[in-house]
Structures are given as structure tokens and as C-alpha cells.
Amino acid sequence: MKTIIAGKNEAGQRLDKLLFKVLKKAPKSFVYKMLRKKNITLNGKKAEGSEMVNTEDEIKLFLSEETLEKFSDNYSNPLPQISSEDGVPENLKENFQVVYEDANVLIVNKPAGMLSQKAKESDISLVEHVISYLLNTGCITPKELETFKPGICNRLDRNTSGLVAAGKTLAGLKTLSELFRERTLSKYYLCLVKGVVKEDKKITGFLIKDEKTNQVKVLAKAADNADYIETEYTPLQGNKDYTLLKVKLITGKTHQIRAHLSSIGCPIIGDGKYGDKNINDKFRQKFRLTHQLLHSYEMIFPKNIQGELSNLSGLQLTAELPDYFIRIIIACINKD
């Protein structure tokens, strides 16, 4: 048997949604069957699963230890080993930077080369690094992970660096997810592109994805299965060969910045999917650059956030550029 006393990370959601997290590997039909047979109860009474869970509610699972072990996620997958005092994995000491943290959210500077989320079961992504950090700093316990899993609320491509927001609590996850979904949180990127860009501009288009190649194409007109996109950019520095852009991501679609800039003749340096092969080869030889020079630089939160996360109202955060990015800017734009 297993007893769960609902806390702040369990309350505020439907009972069946919580049970799906507890019995992550069980078919949904099994969970509903156990509810019908009263093998799972809420406050000692039969439940349907649609009930909202409140703080201090008692949920009992009258299941054998064997069944619980079979259907539970015991987090046996390897997590990054941590031995440092500040909770940052040793292999990320120079890259994994905590930009902001409070009781509900954690915002980090993700290094290029790290997945935001798993692509396959054996991957160790930023999510696993975040969980390791929270475990090591005492923000969450292994037992709490049985009913609540912290997660990230925005994703960056594997080879894009910069700001990623994670929810440490259910309230944090809900609020951040809502901000990203409603596009009230402004996101800015820095990138080095081929060519001369002299004016601020907003560009629009329609983006369609090829699932087989995991590449996208930008169209000028609407088409079936194509998503409308908007991207703004401002030139910061440049010369006759390259321009450093600050880009505002208005809509947030797969590879949007990379494909949109490439479609107007300004591909991002180092981009193997949408970039200029000859220029990329040149940067690989000269700087050993193997990925796009794209960095999620700034987040600006709206000023009207209410409730438990009202402390985020108007917050403005920036993530330091990687050293290699700075060196390349100096060498290519500030060389004179």
C-alpha cells in the first residue's frame, strides 16, 4: 500500500492527473479500473478521478509493492553526478550558470551541445541536470519526485546556448508555461550572421516542417500545415562581411530564427542546417566552430504577474555570452 498526503505540488490538479504521475508506467485504463474497484481512494472514499486535489488530502493506493514498483518511475535512469558544494555538476562548472532562482523558478544559462529535453530514453538533458541541481541543493527530495517532477518551460535547440526557464514547483511550472504560451514574456537572442544588415526590421512568413529531415522551410504565403511566424531584429555591430543581430522571437516555432534569417540571405554563422557551407568551413578551420552562433540572451517578464509568482513582474534577465562567441565577434567584427 502507498499513502500520499497532498502538498503544494500535488494540490490544484485533478486526481487522475496526479495518479498518472505516480503510476507513470501504468495504462490509464488500469488507473481508472483501480478507482472503480476502490483500490485507490481519496480521503477514505471512492473517487472517479475528476476530483480536484486539495492540500492535506489523503490518497491511498491499495496496491502490492510489486505492482507499485512495476508502474512507478523510480528515477533509476542515470542523473549527472554532482560533487561540488554549489550544486552544479562538475562537468558543467564553466557552463551551467544559474541566472536566477527563487522558491518557484530556476532560470539557467544552457551551454551549446546540451539537449533541452531527452530525444531518447538514454539521454541526459538539461532536465536531468536541473533535477540533480535541485536534489543536491535540497530544493526537492527523491520522495517528492514520485508525485512531482520539475521541468523546463521553454526549449532551445541542442546547439543553441542561453536562457532556459524551469519550474521548481507546480505553481512555477503553471505560471511560466502560461507566460510562454501567451507570449507575454519577451525573449531576445544574439546571433552572428552573414552579410550586411543596417536597419531594424520585422519579418513574417509561414514555416513548414519536414518531419523526415527535421528541417523547416519558410514560405512567403500560407499553405497547408504551415505556421505563421514573426521575427524582429536589430543590428548591433557589423562590417561588410558579418552583422551581430539582436533578435526578438515573437512566435516560437522550431528552428524559426535560423530558418527565417537564412530565408532573407543572412544565415547564422556555423549553422549546419540552414547556413552557408563555405563560410561554416572557414569558421570551423579558423575557430573550430561546430555549431550555430545563436544565444538566448535576454528575458523580460511582463509587469502584471499576479499571485504566488508576482515577484517576477518586470524582471529582466540576461545570460552571459560564451567565451568563444565573444572571441569570434572580436576577431570578425572588431578586428580593426
Contact 222, 154 (CB under 8 A): no
In terms of domains, do 207 and 277 share one?
yes
pLDDT band at 93 (very low <50, low <70, confident <90, very high): very low
Distances (CA, A) of 15 to 28, 49, 57, 101: 12, 5, 10, 29
CATH number of the domain bearing residue 107: 3.30.2350.10
Distances (CA, A) of 59 to 3, 44, 52, 65, 80: 6, 8, 12, 16, 32
In terms of domains, do 227 and 299 share one?
yes
In terms of domains, do 174 and 191 share one?
no
Q: Is residue 275 part of a domain?
A: yes
Q: Where are the beta strands (DSSP E) in the chain?
A: 2-5, 40-42, 45-46, 58-61, 97-101, 105-110, 151-152, 161-167, 186-194, 201-210, 215-219, 227-238, 242-249, 294-300, 316-318
Q: Is residue 206 part of a domain?
A: yes
In terms of domains, do 172 and 192 share one?
no
- DSSP conformational letter for 91: G
CATH number of the domain bearing residue 19: 3.10.290.10
What residue numbers bound the domain in which 164 lies?
Answer: 90-181
C-alpha 254, offset from chain centre: 13
Q: Is residue 64 part of a domain?
A: yes
In terms of domains, do 190 and 316 share one?
yes
In terms of domains, do 190 and 324 share one?
yes
In terms of domains, do 111 and 212 share one?
no
Helix (H) or strand (E) holding 146: none
Q: Tens digits of per-residue pLDDT, 210-268?
A: 888 889 999 999 999 999 999 999 999 999 999 999 999 999 899 999 999 999 999 99
In terms of domains, do 211 and 304 share one?
yes
Indicate the number of domains in the chain.
3
Q: How high is the pLDDT of residue 122?
A: 77
Contact 242, 193 (CB under 8 A): yes
- Integer Cα distance of 21 and 15 in angstroms: 10
141 or 43, which is more confident? 43
Regarding pTM above 0.85, the answer is no
In terms of domains, do 306 and 222 share one?
yes
Kindly state the cell numbers that stand for 247: 533578435
In terms of domains, do 54 and 103 share one?
no
In terms of domains, do 207 and 316 share one?
yes
